[in-house]
């Protein structure tokens, strides 16, 4: 089972066809710079370019760095504000001519890590955080995702947390590893007070250099581990979200709303078999 995963970021848009049973890329990924300004039509053009480059026809999963409900993008902290209220699902389906599913970027990365990476077999409360242009979050309990959490925007010292503790904040402020890790530690202490996760998975590009900062996060009870899929998690999770194995999982939630909204991303065992999320 293959699906194309596309990860829309503030600086680059990355894509690869993914074998969703193994979480691996079928061919090398491609990256195209995010257009500036990153308005919907310009981004849709790049989505089209990426699908064409792979001569792709089939399911496409696309991450977005903001809240997504029913395929509609609701926030755009680090992209053009014209995304707010855009029906991204319809826009991208038109651009590609394919079946498309759009979801939050950290949610996608979290689903991939829970299935193929640092979260395998973790049934308690798990929080995945991605440190990049912003801070993204994905919250799991018993392996089931609560979509669209936005814990990068909690307030710390009167500021939006991601403006103090994202990778970009480190770059903009030219912060040392020690200084930045101190800010991340403070941020995680707030998060821990609110959620008491058993495990925190830290991802995003900067997780490549986890040895420089993760050992400095000493104020937290929860176990903290770096992401395993690094920056590929978004692509893998996007592909998984659109794949038949995920949408075929039974809805036992009793909740109203579309599948895309409730995002019943039941995790898939490596091997492709959907597993019930609440054993
Ligand atoms: C957005 C989140 C996103 C995160 C990482 C934040 O600014 O609000 O939705 O997951 O950045 O891209």
| 136, 146, 155: residue to mutate for ligand 1 pocket, most atoms within 8 A of CB | 136
CATH number of the domain to which 129 belongs: 3.30.420.40
Tell me the CA–centroid distance for residue 211 and ligand 1, in Å: 24
| 11, 68, 76, 77: residue to mutate for ligand 1 pocket, most atoms within 8 A of CB | 77
Query: Is residue 191 in a domain?
Result: yes
Paired sense of beta strands 155-156 and 159-160, if any: antiparallel
Q: Residue 246: what pLDDT?
A: 52
Least confident of 116-125, 132-141, 187-196, 240-249: 240-249
Q: What is the pLDDT of residues 14-43, one digit of tens each?
A: 999 999 999 999 999 999 999 999 999 999
Q: Shortest CA distance to 265 belongs to which of 250, 186, 279, 257?
A: 250
Tell me the CA–centroid distance for residue 41 and ligand 1, in Å: 20
Tell me the CA–centroid distance for residue 10 and ligand 1, in Å: 10
Query: Is residue 163 in a domain?
Result: yes
Tell me the CA–centroid distance for residue 279 and ligand 1, in Å: 31
Query: Is residue 272 in a domain?
Result: no
User: Residue with structure tokens 């065992």?
Assistant: 269
* Ligand 1 atom 11 nearest Cα: 134
| 14, 78, 234: residue to mutate for ligand 1 pocket, most atoms within 8 A of CB | 78
Q: What is the pLDDT of residues 78-114, one digit of tens each?
A: 999 999 999 999 999 999 999 999 999 999 999 999 9
Query: Is residue 175 in a domain?
Result: yes
- Give the other-Cβ count within 10 Å of 163's Cβ: 17
The answer to whether the CB of 105 falls within 8 A of the CB of 8 is yes
Query: Is residue 157 in a domain?
Result: yes
- What percent of the chain clears pLDDT 90, i.e. is strictly above it? 81
| Tokens of residue 31, six digits | 């990256």
- Residue 127 belongs to domain spanning: 120-228
Q: What is the largest CA-CA distance in the chain?
A: 49
The separation between CA 54 and the C-alpha centre of its own chain, rounded to angstroms, equals 22
Does residue 8 carry a pLDDT above 60? Answer: yes
Residue 49 region by backbone torsions, left for phi larger than 0, else alpha for psi between -120 and 50, else beta: alpha
How many structural domains compose the chain? 1
Tell me the CA–centroid distance for residue 181 and ligand 1, in Å: 20
Residues with CB under 6 A from ligand 1: 65-67, 75, 77-78, 104-106, 130, 132-134, 136, 150, 152, 162
The separation between CA 157 and the C-alpha centre of its own chain, rounded to angstroms, equals 26
Tell me the CA–centroid distance for residue 188 and ligand 1, in Å: 16
| 106, 151, 169: residue to mutate for ligand 1 pocket, most atoms within 8 A of CB | 106
Q: What is the pLDDT of residues 146-170, one digit of tens each?
A: 999 999 999 999 999 999 999 999 9
Query: Is residue 196 in a domain?
Result: yes
From start to end of 191-258, where are the E strands? 199-203, 223-226
- Give the other-Cβ count within 10 Å of 196's Cβ: 12
Query: Is residue 36 in a domain?
Result: no
Q: Which atom of ligand 1 is nearest to the CA of 67?
A: 9
Tell me the CA–centroid distance for residue 1 and ligand 1, in Å: 29
**What pTM value is reported for the model?**
0.90
Query: Is residue 63 in a domain?
Result: no
Q: Which atom of ligand 1 is nearest to the CA of 107?
A: 10
* Ligand 1 atom 9 nearest Cα: 66
């Amino acid at each position: 089972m293959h699906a194309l995963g596309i990860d829309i970021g503030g600086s680059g848009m990355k894509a690869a066809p993914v074998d969703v049973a193994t979480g691996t890329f079928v061919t090398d990924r491609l990256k195209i710079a995010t257009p500036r300004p990153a308005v919907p039509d310009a981004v849709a053009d790049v989505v089209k370019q990426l699908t064409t480059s792979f001569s792709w026809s089939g399911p496409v999963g696309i991450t977005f760095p903001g809240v997504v409900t029913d395929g509609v993008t609701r926030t755009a902290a680090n992209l053009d504000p014209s995304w707010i209220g855009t029906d991204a699902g319809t826009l991208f389906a038109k651009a590609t001519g394919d079946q498309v599913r759009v979801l939050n970027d950290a949610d996608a990365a979290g689903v991939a890590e829970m299935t193929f990476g640092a979260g395998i077999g973790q049934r308690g409360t798990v929080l995945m955080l991605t440190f990049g242009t912003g801070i993204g979050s994905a919250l799991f309990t018993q392996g089931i995702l609560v979509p669209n959490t936005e814990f990068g925007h909690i307030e710390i010292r009167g500021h939006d947390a991601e403006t103090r503790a994202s990778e970009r904040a480190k770059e903009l402020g030219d912060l040392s590893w020690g200084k930045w890790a101190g800010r991340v530690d403070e941020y995680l202490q707030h998060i821990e007070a609110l959620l008491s996760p058993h495990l925190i998975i830290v991802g995003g590009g900067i997780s490549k250099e986890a040895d420089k900062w993760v050992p400095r996060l000493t104020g937290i009870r929860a176990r903290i581990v770096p992401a395993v899929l690094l920056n590929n998690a978004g692509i893998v999770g996007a592909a998984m979200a659109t794949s038949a194995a995920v949408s075929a999982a039974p809805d036992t939630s009793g909740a109203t709303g579309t599948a895309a909204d409730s995002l019943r991303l039941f995790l898939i065992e490596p091997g492709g078999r959907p597993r019930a999320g609440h054993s």
